[in-house]
């Protein structure tokens, strides 16, 4: 992968989920939500916002997995074993970004909550491990 492709993948891995969440929430807001403010998981209910949420986060999760793998192979870490573990955590977090979009909160509440915790918590853990692994 070229440097420019890596940069594009980097921007996609954070920009697409941000755009997806904003778009799905705006669509839901103008579609008579249950209450305001509402949880992001409530947009995965029905209609266009459901498609935006599911497709957007699924594609974003794939982009995040590719980016984690790209970083692993292109960045020299001071602690290679920890860098490998951090990459696995990043891949798991990205996979759960995909899964959280597939398990809607209304029909699969337990699965949705578990995958949301692994996606968000895993992403934070990935960043912490990566920071330590990369060193100064």
> For residue 43, what pLDDT is reported?
79
Surface-to-core class of residue 101, CB atoms within 10 Å of its CB (0-12 exposed, 13-18 middle, 19+ buried): buried
Percent of the chain with pLDDT over 90: 71
Token pair, residue 6, equals 């890596």
Q: Report pTM.
A: 0.89
State mean pLDDT over 42-63: 89
Average pLDDT, the chain: 91
> For residue 64, what pLDDT is reported?
96
Cβ-based neighbours of 49, under 8 Å, separated by 6 or more:
24, 25, 27, 28, 31, 43
Whether 45 shows a pLDDT value over 80: the answer reads no
State mean pLDDT over 15-39: 86
Where do the structural domains in the chain lie, given as residue ranges? 3-134
For residues 16 and 59, the answer to whether their CB atoms sit within 8 Å is yes
Whether 110 shows a pLDDT value over 90: the answer reads yes
Question: Which of the two residues, 47 and 124, has the higher pLDDT score?
Answer: 124
Residues 46, 39, 25, 16, CA torsion sign: negative
Whether 122 shows a pLDDT value over 90: the answer reads yes
- The Cα–Cα gap between 134 and 84 comes to 11
Token pair, residue 40, equals 């992001």
Q: Given its phi and psi angles, is residue 124 left (phi above 0), alpha (psi -120 to 50 degrees) or beta?
A: alpha
Whether 44 shows a pLDDT value over 90: the answer reads no
Prior bond to 37 cis, omega within 30?
yes
Angle (deg, nearest 10), helices 80-102 and 109-134: 160
Whether 17 shows a pLDDT value over 90: the answer reads yes
State mean pLDDT over 77-94: 96
């Amino acid at each position: 992968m070229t440097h420019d492709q890596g940069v594009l993948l980097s921007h996609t891995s954070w920009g697409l989920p941000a755009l997806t969440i904003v778009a799905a929430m705006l669509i839901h807001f103008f579609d008579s939500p249950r209450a305001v403010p509402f949880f992001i998981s409530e947009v995965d209910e029905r209609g266009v916002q459901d498609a935006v949420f599911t497709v957007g986060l699924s594609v974003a999760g794939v982009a995040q997995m590719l980016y984690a793998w790209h970083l692993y192979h292109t960045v020299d870490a001071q602690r290679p074993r920890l860098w490998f573990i951090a990459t696995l955590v990043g891949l798991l977090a990205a996979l759960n970004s995909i899964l959280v979009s597939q398990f809607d909160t209304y029909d699969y509440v337990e699965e949705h909550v578990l995958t949301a915790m692994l996606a968000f918590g895993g992403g934070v853990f990935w960043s912490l491990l990566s920071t330590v692994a990369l060193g100064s």
